[in-house]
């Protein structure tokens, strides 16, 4: 919103437009404290990057008629609810990030073990005689048994090292189940925010925030999907759905509960 737009609303705008401008400024502050304008001399808050304190007073003083007071109160209640559930969403999103971090650590460790196995198998190919190759093979197998090392041998071929990935899949199973729950919860919050913004709290700062958070959530779920689904897990392994495949259903009853949380 430009300075010209703000001046026009202050001088000629309807009371509803003024209320919406006032709440837009509030929304910007709720999204980021960087929106506040601070006096460099005494560090006092002198306004926001959108409105001065004087402009906010003018907007506030315009709310007089009962219908305008009601419109403001509705926005205020929905705004309070949005902030409450925004915080809940953020907590779940942080938890989902932490869960992905744990899964990716396990994946990284497994990847390094796979590389080590491949290297040892390549070195075994360099032994010129079967006896020394067998000694080296047994030594390597004993070293990696604790990490799931097993013997792999095709008919009429020498022995090679392999990994039993059962240990790895069990290791990330609990975190994957947790990721599925958190992904579904975060998607439900985003769906609810979209309905709320379209119907009850039409403030651009919140709409922009939802777009940004949804993009981040999609990418995070995709990263977990890539590790846990595209890497050929066991058939009974819990599988996270991509963001677009997670179903949500926001009802009028849900919205009523959301609004009541802000009263």
Q: Digits of tens for pLDDT over the chain (263 positions)?
A: 788 999 999 999 999 999 999 999 999 989 887 887 787 787 777 767 888 888 999 999 999 999 999 999 999 999 999 999 999 999 999 999 999 999 999 999 888 888 888 888 888 888 878 888 888 888 888 888 777 788 888 888 888 988 888 888 988 999 999 999 999 999 999 999 999 999 999 999 999 999 999 999 999 999 999 999 988 899 999 999 999 999 999 999 999 999 999 88
What is the model's pLDDT at position 175?
Answer: 95
What is the model's pLDDT at position 125?
Answer: 85
Tell me the two tokens of residue 152.
């792999």
The residues, any chain, with a CB within 8 Å of residue 105's CB and separated by 6 or more, are none
pTM given for the model: 0.85
The residues, any chain, with a CB within 8 Å of residue 1's CB and separated by 6 or more, are 21, 24, 50, 204
Per-residue DSSP letter, 246: -
What is the model's pLDDT at position 102?
Answer: 95
**What are the C-alpha distances in Å from 109 to residues 63, 135, 230?**
61, 27, 17
d(Cα 208, Cα 214) in Å, to the nearest integer? 10
d(Cα 164, Cα 238) in Å, to the nearest integer? 19
Please list the residues that pair with 160 across neighbouring strands: 152
């Amino acid at each position: 919103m430009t300075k010209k737009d703000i001046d026009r609303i202050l001088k000629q705008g309807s009371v509803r437009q003024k209320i919406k401008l006032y709440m837009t400024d509030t929304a910007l502050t709720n999204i980021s404290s960087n929106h506040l304008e601070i006096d460099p001399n005494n560090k006092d808050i002198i306004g926001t990057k959108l409105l001065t304190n004087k402009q906010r007073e003018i907007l506030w003083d315009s709310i007089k008629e009962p219908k305008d007071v009601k419109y403001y109160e509705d926005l205020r209640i929905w705004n309070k609810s949005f902030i409450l559930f925004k915080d809940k969403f953020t907590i779940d999103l942080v938890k989902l990030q932490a869960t992905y971090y744990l899964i990716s650590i396990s994946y990284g460790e497994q990847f390094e073990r796979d590389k080590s196995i491949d290297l040892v198998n390549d070195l075994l190919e360099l032994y010129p005689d079967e006896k020394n190759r067998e000694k080296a093979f047994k030594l390597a197998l004993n070293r990696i048994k604790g990490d799931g090392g097993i013997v792999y041998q095709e008919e009429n071929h020498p022995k090679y090292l392999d990994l039993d990935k059962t240990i790895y899949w069990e290791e990330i199973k609990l975190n994957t189940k947790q990721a599925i729950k958190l992904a579904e919860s975060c998607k439900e919050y985003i769906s609810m925010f979209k309905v709320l913004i379209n119907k009850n709290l039409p403030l651009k700062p919140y709409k922009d925030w939802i777009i940004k958070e949804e993009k981040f959530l999609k990418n995070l779920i995709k990263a977990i999907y890539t590790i846990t689904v595209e890497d050929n897990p066991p058939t009974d392994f819990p599988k996270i759905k991509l963001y677009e495949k997670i179903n949500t259903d926001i009802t009028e009853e849900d919205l009523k509960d959301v609004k009541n949380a802000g009263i």
